[in-house]
Amino acid sequence: MRNQIGMFPRLSFRRAALLACAFLLVLSVTGSALDKKDAQLGRLLSGKVLDQQDNPVVSAIVYLTNTRTHAVKTYIVGQDGTYRFPGLSNVDYEVYAQFNNHKSDTKSVSQFDDRSQVYIDLKIDTAK
């Protein structure tokens, strides 16, 4: 075995094969863990709350209901009118927006919709 500058000691074939197998095992476990982490992130539902002239409805409240558990999440819309619900389970949801006693139509997100990102604009007729 030589150990000169810039040289590595020679490895036996058996030792090199064991190192290669260990390296591949670490890569496969790491890749599997990353896949599970991505799957745990869930779906993203986002969109905008708009009035009849397509202007953002600032401070509208978006309600998201899990139709299986009836759990409700809310989001208060900012200046740009956008809302965002990340990390959703693969179940059915209903979403609507409300502002000053005016309500948008209720939209559905199906568990059979396989998109990881769902975008739904909600319209509120504030002139009623």
Greatest alpha-carbon pair distance for the chain in Å reads 87
Q: Where are the alpha helices (DSSP H) in the chain?
A: 13-41
Distances (CA, A) of 31 to 35, 41, 42, 87: 6, 16, 18, 20
In whole angstroms, give the CA distance from residue 106 to residue 51. 15
Q: Which pTM value belongs to this model? A: 0.68
Give the pLDDT of residue 37: 44
Give the pLDDT of residue 39: 44
pLDDT by residue for the chain (128 residues), tens only, comes to 454 555 555 657 677 666 565 555 554 544 444 444 444 579 999 999 999 999 999 999 999 999 999 999 999 999 999 999 999 999 999 999 999 999 999 999 999 998 999 999 999 998 86
CATH number assigned to the domain with residue range 43-123, chosen from the 4 options 1.10.150.50, 3.90.550.10, 2.60.40.1120, 3.40.50.300: 2.60.40.1120
